[in-house]
Amino acid sequence: MSSEKATAIVLRVIEFSETSSVVTLFTREFGKVRGLAKGARRPKGPFESALDLLALCRIVFLRKSSDSLDLLTEAKLERRFRPAGGNLSKLYAAYYVAELLNELTDDYDPHPGLFDAADATLVSFASAGEDVASALVHFELTALRETGHLPTLAACAACGRDVEATGRVPFSQRAGGVLCKSCRSGQKQIISVSSSVIAALARMAGEDRPSSSGGGLDARTYGELRGVLNHYWTHLMGRPARMQRWLPTPVDGTSRTD
Amino acid sequence: MISESVTTLVDELSKLPGIGKKSAERLAYHLLRVHESEALALADAIRSVKENVRYCRSCYNLTEHDECEICRDSKRDTTQLCVVEQPRDLIALEQPGTYRGLYHVLLGRIAPLDGIGPEHLTIDALVERVRGGTFSEVIMATNPTLEGDGTALYISNLLADMPVSITRLARGITSGSVLEFANKEILADALAGRQKL
């Protein structure tokens, strides 16, 4: 067993016994790590209550060579996550970030870019004035890009030819993006998406960080965009995300900033 | 090789939290070794708990009557209501003997990632209780975790329009400890929740 150090975001905490927990962490250095934290639920000890959901901490763990859980030996809290202004939309959006990280990544498959994007998104949810919906969509697109699942939005996912972005555009979850008219026929699991939503997705996927102007998503665009992303995640995960019903709605998603 | 009854007992014991197959076998052999009356006393205790213990109709604490001892106690302060996640939290808060108000047990916390929403808890009953009660203060004593805080926040939003003050348990430095070894989050909490001397 080798001892490793890493910076981690806590994705899941399951009570294991009176004082111990099984935790799932997304580390910058090693990707997803699952481990047993003995005595983690005691206020005193090597974990100091650091293993709270979505907390950022520095951890030390013993890496097991077999399939069994790693053993966490230490966790030092760097930053506890609390949504700014007690905003429940931000809290649920942060839970969704945790769910996507857990579902999208494999054990010991590091994605430092994805880690940094998740960390920045959680920081933004802990800050006043951030547009929850835009920040969340931006994170989702970053997560898709970092894991190689970003749908093609300009060229046909089947033949590679440019797709004319006018009116409504066929979007295939199975093919992984938009389709041209000639490739549309015979394809299954296709939804029709307005070209303005495809343009918004393409614009946000190309941005390094969410637009400071709030992303410019009106309620109608966000509503349709949310629907497209929800369908796409359901296809990738094989089931709807648990947090889907808790996400910002078209009504509150673009209006609430605190 | 082992009798069917023993196998069944081991299987049932290994369903208990924190009990693995080996521990279950050890417990089963212990029960086989002890006097019959001692083993059956355990069986009777389990049967009695399952047959007699239920949730209090007012606060959802565990009780053997329609209402728990605390709800039936006329000396309790009916203007204060303390909201906790589990009956064991209520027991912990009763230990210092300083709180004389009533309780409401949620029977969990909102944990969407585990599929637990407000509809799985006793939140509707809590709102009705506050609406029709004599309370002037609701103390949110859910655990100081992200999910505990989220649950308290959800409930405080529901009670926002009612004429009650909503408070949260204080958090910060443990009495008897030293500042030097407290982490920055604990110090920040302690500073935010400082009190006038």
pLDDT in tens, A42-55: 777 778 778 999 99
**Predicted local distance difference test score (pLDDT) of residue B58:** 95
Q: Give B17 to chain A, closest Cα distance, Å.
A: 7
CB contact under 8 A, A76 and B153: no
Q: Give B65 to chain A, closest Cα distance, Å.
A: 29
**Predicted local distance difference test score (pLDDT) of residue A251:** 54
Give the C-alpha distances (Å, rounded to integers) separating A65 from A36, A68, A130, B139.
Answer: 15, 8, 43, 48
Q: What percent of chain A has pLDDT over 90?
A: 50
Q: Could you tell me the pLDDT band of residue A250, with boundaries at 50, 70 and 90? A: low
Q: Which residue has the higher pLDDT, A1 or B58?
A: B58
**Residues 71 through 130 of chain A touching chain B, CB cutoff 8 Å:** 76-77, 79-82, 86, 88, 91-92, 95, 98-99
Domain boundaries, chain A: 2-79, 84-154+160-246
Q: A165: which residues sit within 8 A by CB, 6+ positions away?
A: A154, A195, A198, A199
Give the C-alpha distances (Å, rounded to integers) separating B186 from A26, A126, A232, B150, B191.
Answer: 24, 17, 41, 19, 9
Checking DSSP bridges between strand B54-55 and strand A168-172, what pairing results, if any? unpaired
**Predicted local distance difference test score (pLDDT) of residue A42:** 78
Global pTM reads 0.87
Q: Could you tell me the pLDDT band of residue B16, with boundaries at 50, 70 and 90? A: very high
The domain A84-154+160-246 is placed in CATH, from the list 1.20.1440.120, 3.40.50.2300, 3.30.70.20, 1.20.1090.10, at 1.20.1440.120
Q: Could you tell me the pLDDT band of residue A256, with boundaries at 50, 70 and 90? A: very low
The domain A2-79 is placed in CATH, from the list 2.40.50.140, 3.40.50.720, 3.40.50.300, 1.10.238.10, at 2.40.50.140
Q: In this complex, how many residue pairs, one in chain A and one in chain B, have their CB atoms less than 8 Å apart?
A: 46
What is the per-residue DSSP string for A188-235?
SSEEEEEHHHHHHHHHHHT-SS--TT-TT--HHHHHHHHHHHHHHHHH
Going along chain B from its start, the domains and CATH numbers come out as 4-52 (1.10.8.420), 72-196 (3.40.1360.10)
Q: Could you tell me the pLDDT band of residue A128, with boundaries at 50, 70 and 90? A: confident
Mean pLDDT of A135-159: 91
**Predicted local distance difference test score (pLDDT) of residue B180:** 85
CB contact under 8 A, B113 and A99: yes
Tens of pLDDT along B142-151? 999 999 999 9
A95 → closest Cβ in B18, B113, B153 = B113
Can you read off the two tokens belonging to residue B37? 């009356």
Range in A17-31, A82-96, A156-170, B137-151 with the lowest mean pLDDT: A156-170
Q: Could you tell me the pLDDT band of residue A25, with boundaries at 50, 70 and 90? A: very high
Contacts of B23 in chain A (CB under 8 A): none
**Predicted local distance difference test score (pLDDT) of residue A214:** 47
**Predicted local distance difference test score (pLDDT) of residue A209:** 66
**Predicted local distance difference test score (pLDDT) of residue A210:** 65
pLDDT greater than 70 at residue A253: no
Can you read off the two tokens belonging to residue A92? 């649920």
pLDDT greater than 50 at residue A222: yes
pLDDT greater than 60 at residue A254: no
What is the per-residue DSSP string for A133-159?
HHHHHHHHHHHHHHTT-PPBSSB-TTT
**Predicted local distance difference test score (pLDDT) of residue A175:** 87
**Predicted local distance difference test score (pLDDT) of residue A258:** 35
Q: Please give the ipTM for the structure prediction.
A: 0.85
Asked if A128 contacts A85 with a C-beta cutoff of 8 angstroms, the reply is yes
**Predicted local distance difference test score (pLDDT) of residue B116:** 95
